[in-house]
């Protein structure tokens, strides 16, 4: 089965110019998003997963700066367009942001204004990307709210965000993301702020919507459980690089990068035996400004090869091919 | 022997309205909670946000004054005291037996004090002489696997995981009878979380700690607790030994919670959570069993009559009218 | 220094040191700090730096324009000023002064002048610079003289003392009131808090100028300048404390919820220890920043009051009083140099504001 590639990210590099020096938040990140499939991006704090999303949407805040790479919409077709080459404030980019590419935030309250009703905000989003009359946009907004499973949408449309529970707010956030009828959706930790039962419902909703609309979903999370539940392919990130890319089943059974293996062993499991200890990774994630030499994971790696791993960086992954960015990988 | 016996604990918040601020209702944050913690045992208090688990822990620490009920605590001097009714002045000498591990490792350490002074503070205020304090601090640092040089450093020099170790060392400084841990690992990265979970397991073994572990993450709870109490809208709906609760839940809400947790295993995908809807509002709890609007097993009786927490099997308690009739799914 | 040594140094740095490291990076704030330090140094040694007696009047030398010191003459380095010759304008009958090139008055360091008390320690009559010889009306008038023939430069130098110290005294009083009342308000809450907050609101809702006018008018005419000085300080800080009380109350309220304060409480620490060991140090830096922003407000208040004639009264000398002389447009047209008293006011206010901003940013090393 060959899916249409909706977005191809190539060698994306983002630097933050801080007082202490340049922090390399992203160092050559590449991956593809395919229609109807979910790519999971997983990693610990500081790995650059959120910066990746913000770079694609061109909303990296100062002092961050995209220093290289491409984000190609519809790669290989006549309409191919590089988001990184566009002016972030241009009409075209604004049309893509929230139009072709929808965004779901971790805390929907930050995406919703407290001063306007839910309806006002969705109608505004609908009209920004479609040529509709006010009445038609309102109908569309009610339809969107129904689609995301909000009961009695014709009443809820006039509610203010604070009048809704966390779960309902996140559903409104999803409705907002769908307002421009996107074919790519980026969800940045969409369920981290939610309770487990609400999380399960929101994940179900995302899955259903993706199936119905053939959306290319990029799901950013730190939760291996959510990855296992939702994704088709997974990119594991560590300190600004994709260190492993694999189909989800392979990642959990035969992961190839020592970091992935260690991370999976360190995750507490609901299937644990009583008082079961976890395998740990020594130390903590270094600050991105104090990046270790060579392979950034080498100080914490159980397979560290002195003179090799700390001397040079392993080759980055080729997009779309399963593998690990690790010296062990290259050896036959 | 029990370190703590809580019975019929209630914490209500009056809702005032109007110019004269008359009481128009009550938020029953905690509404009749009973449980005990045996010497050397870890009891986990789990539930979703707003279920009252944090309020219970704050009442036990008397950061909040309970509305009614009793909290019998055994400080280890042969006589138990009721923390619920003790005046603040009489409470102070008891504080040393009752310590807390905080959720946020950043705000729980005074940034203006050296780590050694932070750990020594409980010792100092309880009159331990300086020489003894010094030895004890070194011993505690060693216990939480921190280097001795940490003593003269300030919290800003440490990562989240290391700070959490410092917080644990401070909590253990006076050999407390009971430690209340409020979401102690939920703010940490996965790899660091595993280190702290292992540390807690170690400490339980070595020091025979009695602990109240307040958490929302059922995976973490399965690793560290001996027994689990599940709360829903201010009440305990089920108490059972950890393994039994996960394998064969006896309350439909426990079943829902367990089904909602995404397991880090793509093979287990597609399990259906049977309950729907949102957590009830503790200001307007539904009549009868608070869970009935979401419960797939609810009958007419559940809508009018509130079930009591009863022993359904040796050592297992559930508050469900149908606990003996229905077959619920757990996780193996 | 090696990287690890630097790291160790950072790891063992106190909050004060971290704040200082951050503050040092604020160029403007550091420059401002130096300027303010210089101003206070001038205030401390005002009489030593002054050239002429700031109180000495002489009708024969009124409205002398600013003079320059000539550093060289035909013999090389020989700082001097020229004596002045008064010429009466035949049409306006105004007396105007022109330098008399025949009378060269040498400028010397550490000359003897009027007698004063140095730092309250001992009497002396040594001044930094002065002239040798000359007539009674001769002198160095760097910024000219006023109507009564008093040397503006010396008066400005001496005014620094009053203007800068009234700010300090006012802020000290405000701080005392602010910390006590704000602390009580934030720590105990309840009806005490409500009461104090309402009082603050009432005080703040009174328009300041009429309030000052009323209070200043109530000061008895018979009071000495020192008494008036203290009364004015009290009047100014009566409003000033409300701001600081709000800062203190806010910090106490937020700190009370802070986990490390709860932890200290759980350890069994006494109320006093919690307040003085945990809470106060946590916002001392914020208070310093608030103070450095409150100081210029005090200075401006004094200047404004004195300018309006409600504050200090002559013979006291402050920047406000000096500016009061520059009120009359007629006078200003003839002697525009009188306006130069506004320069130190602006300089000090700006410096304090930049310093306060820098301190505020530096106070929170994680912010």
Answer yes or no: are the C-beta atoms of B182 and B105 closer than 8 Å.
no
Answer yes or no: are the C-beta atoms of B115 and B151 closer than 8 Å.
yes
- Please report the DSSP string for B195-225 in residue order: HHHHHHHHHHHHH---EEEEES-HHHHHHH-
Band the pLDDT of B240: cuts 50, 70, 90: very high
How far are the Cα atoms of A60, A64, A169 from residue A177, in angstroms, in the given order? 19, 25, 12
Alpha-carbon distance B61 to nearest alpha carbon in chain C (angstroms) = 8
Q: Is C18 on the interface with B (CB under 8 A)?
A: yes
**Percentage of residues in chain B having pLDDT higher than 90:** 60
How far are the Cα atoms of A16, A56, A111, B269, C231 from residue A63, in angstroms, in the given order? 5, 17, 22, 41, 51
User: Is the N-terminal amide bond of A61 cis, ω within 30° of 0?
Assistant: no
d(CA A288, CA A270): 32
Q: Is B119 on the interface with C (CB under 8 A)?
A: no
B206: exposed, middle or buried (Cβ count in 10 Å: 0-12, 13-18, 19+)? exposed
Could you tell me if residue A156 is left (phi over 0), alpha (psi between -120 and 50 degrees) or otherwise beta? alpha
Q: pLDDT value at position C364? A: 66
Alpha-carbon distance B127 to nearest alpha carbon in chain A (angstroms) = 35
Give pLDDT tens digits for A184-221.
Answer: 999 999 988 888 888 998 999 999 999 999 999 999 99
- Phi, psi (deg, nearest 5) at residue C115: -85, 140
Answer yes or no: are the C-beta atoms of A97 and A108 closer than 8 Å.
no
Q: Chain B residues with CB inside 8 Å of C13's CB?
A: 154
d(CA C353, CA C357): 6
Query: Hey, what are A271's tokens?
Result: 């299937």
Interface partners of chain C (CB pairs < 8 Å, 3 or more) are B
Band the pLDDT of C191: cuts 50, 70, 90: confident
Give pLDDT tens digits for C98-109.
Answer: 777 777 777 777
User: Is the N-terminal amide bond of A63 cis, ω within 30° of 0?
Assistant: yes
Band the pLDDT of A332: cuts 50, 70, 90: very low
Instruction: Please give the residue of chain B at the shortest CA–CA distance from C257.
Output: B107
Task: Indicate whether this model's pTM tops 0.90.
Answer: no
Band the pLDDT of C48: cuts 50, 70, 90: confident
Provide the sign of the torsion angle of the four alpha carbons B280, B281, B282, B285, taken in this order. Answer: negative
Q: Chain C residues with CB inside 8 Å of B154's CB?
A: 11-15
- Domains of chain C, by residue range, sit at 32-42+156-363, 50-149
Interface partners of chain A (CB pairs < 8 Å, 3 or more) are B
Portion 8-47 of B in contact with A at CB < 8 A: none
Q: Is C214 on the interface with B (CB under 8 A)?
A: no
- Phi, psi (deg, nearest 5) at residue B4: -140, 135
Give pLDDT tens digits for B172-226.
Answer: 999 999 999 999 998 888 888 999 999 999 999 999 999 999 999 999 999 999 9
| Cβ–Cβ gap B257/A264 under 8 Å | no
Q: Is B228 on the interface with C (CB under 8 A)?
A: no
Q: Chain A residues with CB inside 8 Å of B204's CB?
A: 275
Give pLDDT tens digits for C330-366.
Answer: 777 777 787 887 888 888 889 988 888 888 777 765 4
- Average pLDDT value for residue range B261-272: 81
Band the pLDDT of A287: cuts 50, 70, 90: confident
Q: Is B109 on the interface with C (CB under 8 A)?
A: yes
Of B118 and C330, more confident = B118
Q: Chain B residues with CB inside 8 Å of A202's CB?
A: none
- Domains of chain B, by residue range, sit at 2-110+176-225
| Cβ–Cβ gap B170/C267 under 8 Å | yes
**Domains of chain A, with CATH numbers?**
5-100+182-330 (3.40.50.300)
Q: Is C5 on the interface with B (CB under 8 A)?
A: no
Radius of gyration, CA atoms only, chain A: 21
Answer yes or no: are the C-beta atoms of B290 and B275 closer than 8 Å.
no
Band the pLDDT of C3: cuts 50, 70, 90: low
Most confident of A30-34, A303-307, C114-118: A30-34
Q: Is C271 on the interface with B (CB under 8 A)?
A: no
Give pLDDT tens digits for A316-328.
Answer: 888 888 889 998 8
d(CA B180, CA B44): 10
DSSP secondary structure letter of residue C150? -
Q: Is B98 on the interface with C (CB under 8 A)?
A: yes
Q: Which of A41-50, B130-139, C149-158 has the lowest mean pLDDT?
A: C149-158
Indicate the average pLDDT of chain A: 88
Alpha-carbon distance B332 to nearest alpha carbon in chain A (angstroms) = 6
Band the pLDDT of A71: cuts 50, 70, 90: very high
Can you tell me the ipTM of this complex? Answer: 0.85
d(CA C316, CA C334): 24
**Cα C141 from chain centroid (whole Å):** 23
d(CA C17, CA C23): 10
d(CA C270, CA B183): 27
Band the pLDDT of C1: cuts 50, 70, 90: very low
Q: How many CA atoms lie within 13 A of C218 on its CB side?
A: 9
Query: Hey, what are B170's tokens?
Result: 């401070």
Q: Is residue B247 pLDDT above 90, yes or no?
A: yes
| Cβ–Cβ gap A263/B246 under 8 Å | no
Query: Hey, what are A106's tokens?
Result: 């971790």
Give pLDDT tens digits for A146-181.
Answer: 988 888 888 888 988 888 888 888 889 999 999 888
- Average pLDDT value for residue range B235-254: 94
Instruction: Please give the residue of chain C at the shortest CA–CA distance from B158.
Output: C11
Domain B2-110+176-225 maps to which CATH number in 3.90.79.10, 3.40.50.10860, 3.40.50.300, 3.40.640.10? 3.40.50.300
- Please report the DSSP string for B143-164 in residue order: HTT--GGGGGS-GGGS-HHHHH
- Which strands make up the sheet holding B178-182, listed edge to edge? B98-101, B178-182, B211-215, B42-46, B227-232, B235-241, B316-318, B310-313
Answer yes or no: are the C-beta atoms of C250 and C187 closer than 8 Å.
no
The alpha-helical segments, DSSP class H, found in chain C are 3-11, 15-24, 27-44, 46-49, 152-188, 190-205, 208-217, 225-256, 259-267, 271-273, 280-307, 319-324, 329-334, 342-363
Of B295 and C327, more confident = B295
Q: How many CA atoms lie within 13 A of A219 on its CB side?
A: 30
- Average pLDDT value for residue range C305-332: 76
| Cβ–Cβ gap B95/C268 under 8 Å | yes
Using DSSP's 3-state secondary structure scheme, residue B86 falls into coil
CATH topology of domain C32-42+156-363: MetI-like fold (1.10.3720)
Portion 35-74 of B in contact with C at CB < 8 A: 61, 63
Of B140 and B272, more confident = B140
């Amino acid at each position: 089965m060959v899916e249409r590639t909706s977005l191809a990210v190539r060698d994306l590099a983002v630097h933050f110019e801080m007082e202490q020096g340049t922090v390399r938040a992203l160092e050559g990140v590449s991956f593809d998003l395919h229609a109807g499939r979910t790519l999971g991006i997983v990693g610990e704090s500081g790995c650059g997963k959120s910066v990746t999303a913000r770079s694609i949407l061109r909303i990296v805040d100062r002092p961050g700066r995209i220093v290289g790479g491409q984000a190609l919409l519809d790669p290989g077709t006549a309409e191919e367009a590089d988001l990184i080459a566009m002016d972030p404030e241009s009409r075209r980019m604004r049309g893509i942001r929230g139009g072709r590419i929808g965004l779901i935030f971790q805390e929907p309250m930050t995406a919703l204004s407290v001063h306007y009703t839910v309806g006002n905000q969705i109608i505004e989003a609908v009209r920004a990307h479609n040529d509709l009359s006010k009445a038609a946009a309102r109908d569309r907004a009610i339809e969107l709210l129904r689609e995301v499973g909000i009961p009695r949408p014709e009443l809820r449309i006039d509610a203010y965000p604070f009048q809704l529970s966390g779960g309902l707010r996140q559903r409104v956030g999803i409705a907002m993301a769908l307002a421009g009828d996107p074919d790519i959706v980026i969800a940045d930790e969409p369920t981290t702020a939610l309770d487990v039962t609400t999380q399960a419902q929101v994940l179900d909703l995302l899955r259903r919507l993706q199936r119905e609309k053939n959306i290319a979903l990029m799901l950013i999370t730190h939760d291996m459980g959510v990855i296992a539940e939702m994704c088709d392919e997974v990119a594991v990130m560590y300190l600004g690089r994709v260190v492993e890319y694999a189909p989800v089943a392979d990642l959990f059974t035969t992961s190839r990068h020592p970091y992935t293996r260690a991370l999976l062993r360190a995750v507490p499991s609901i299937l644990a035996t009583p008082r079961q200890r976890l395998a740990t990774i020594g130390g903590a994630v270094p600050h991105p400004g104090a990046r270790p030499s060579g392979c950034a994971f080498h100080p914490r790696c159980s397979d560290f090869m002195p003179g090799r791993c700390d001397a040079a960086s392993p080759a980055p992954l080729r997009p779309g091919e399963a593998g690990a960015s690790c010296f062990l990988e290259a050896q036959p | 022997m029990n370190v703590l016996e809580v019975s019929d604990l209630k914490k209500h918040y009056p809702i005032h309205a109007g110019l004269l601020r008359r009481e128009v209702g009550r938020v029953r944050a905690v509404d009749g909670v009973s449980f005990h913690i045996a010497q050397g045992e870890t009891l986990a208090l789990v539930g979703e946000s707003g279920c009252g688990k944090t309020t219970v822990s704050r009442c036990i620490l008397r950061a909040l004054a309970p509305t009614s009920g009793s909290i019998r605590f055994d400080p280890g001097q042969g006589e138990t005291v009721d923390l619920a009714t003790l005046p603040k002045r009489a409470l102070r000498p008891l504080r040393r037996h009752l310590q807390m591990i905080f959720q946020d490792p950043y705000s729980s350490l005074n940034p203006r004090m050296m780590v050694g002074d932070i750990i020594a503070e409980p010792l100092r205020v309880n009159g331990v002489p300086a020489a003894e304090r010094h030895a004890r601090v070194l011993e505690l640092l060693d216990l939480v696997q921190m280097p001795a040089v940490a003593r003269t450093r300030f919290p800003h020099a440490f990562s989240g995981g290391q700070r959490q170790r410092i917080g644990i060392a401070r909590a253990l400084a006076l050999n407390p009878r009971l430690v209340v841990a409020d979401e102690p690992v939920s703010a940490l990265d996965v790899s660091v979380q595993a280190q702290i979970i292992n540390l807690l397991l170690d400490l339980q073994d070595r020091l025979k700690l009695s602990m109240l572990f307040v958490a929302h993450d059922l995976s973490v709870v399965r690793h560290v607790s001996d027994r689990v109490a599940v709360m829903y809208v201010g009440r305990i709906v089920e108490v059972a030994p950890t393994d039994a609760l996960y394998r064969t839940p006896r309350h439909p809400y426990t079943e829902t919670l367990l089904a909602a947790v995404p397991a880090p295993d793509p093979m287990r995908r597609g399990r259906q959570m049977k309950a729907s809807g949102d957590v009830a509002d503790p200001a307007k709890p539904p009549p009868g069993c608070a869970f009935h609007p979401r419960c797939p097993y609810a009958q007419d009786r559940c809508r009018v009559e509130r079930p009591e927490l009863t022993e359904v099997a040796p050592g297992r308690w559930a508050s469900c009218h149908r606990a003996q009739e229905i077959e619920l799914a757990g996780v193996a | 220094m090696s990287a690890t040594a630097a790291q160790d140094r950072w790891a063992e740095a106190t909050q004060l040191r971290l704040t200082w490291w951050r503050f040092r990076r604020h160029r403007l704030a550091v420059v401002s700090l130096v300027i303010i330090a210089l101003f206070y140094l001038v205030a401390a040694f005002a009489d030593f730096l002054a050239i002429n007696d700031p109180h000495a009047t002489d009708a024969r030398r009124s409205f002398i324009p600013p003079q320059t010191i000539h550093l060289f003459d035909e013999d090389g380095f020989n700082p001097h000023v020229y004596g002045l010759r008064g010429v009466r304008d035949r049409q306006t009958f105004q007396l105007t002064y022109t330098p008399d090139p025949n009378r060269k008055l040498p400028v010397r360091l550490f000359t003897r002048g009027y007698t004063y008390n140095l730092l309250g320690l001992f009497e002396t009559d040594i001044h930094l610079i002065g002239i040798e010889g000359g007539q009674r009306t001769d002198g160095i008038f760097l910024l000219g003289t006023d109507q009564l023939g008093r040397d503006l430069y010396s008066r400005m130098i001496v005014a620094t003392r009053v203007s800068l110290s009234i700010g300090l005294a006012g802020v000290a009083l405000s701080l005392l009131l602010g910390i006590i009342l704000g602390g009580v308000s934030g720590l105990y809450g309840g009806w005490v808090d409500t009461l104090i907050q309402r009082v603050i609101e009432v005080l703040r809702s009174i328009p300041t100028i009429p309030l000052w006018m009323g209070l200043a008018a109530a000061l008895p005419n018979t009071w000495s300048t020192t008494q008036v000085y203290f009364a004015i300080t009290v009047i100014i800080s009566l409003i000033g404390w409300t701001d600081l009380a709000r800062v203190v109350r806010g910090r106490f309220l937020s700190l009370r919820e802070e986990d490390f304060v709860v932890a200290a409480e759980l350890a069994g620490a006494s109320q006093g220890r919690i307040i003085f060991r945990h809470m106060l140090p946590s916002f001392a830096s914020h208070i310093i920043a608030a103070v450095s922003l409150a100081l210029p407000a005090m200075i401006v208040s004094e200047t404004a009051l004195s300018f309006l004639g409600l504050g200090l009264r002559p013979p006291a000398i402050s920047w406000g009083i000096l500016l009061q002389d520059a009120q009359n447009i007629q006078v200003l047209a003839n002697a525009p140099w009188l306006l130069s008293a506004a320069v130190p006011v602006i300089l000090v206010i700006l410096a304090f504001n930049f310093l306060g901003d820098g301190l505020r940013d530096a106070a929170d090393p994680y912010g």
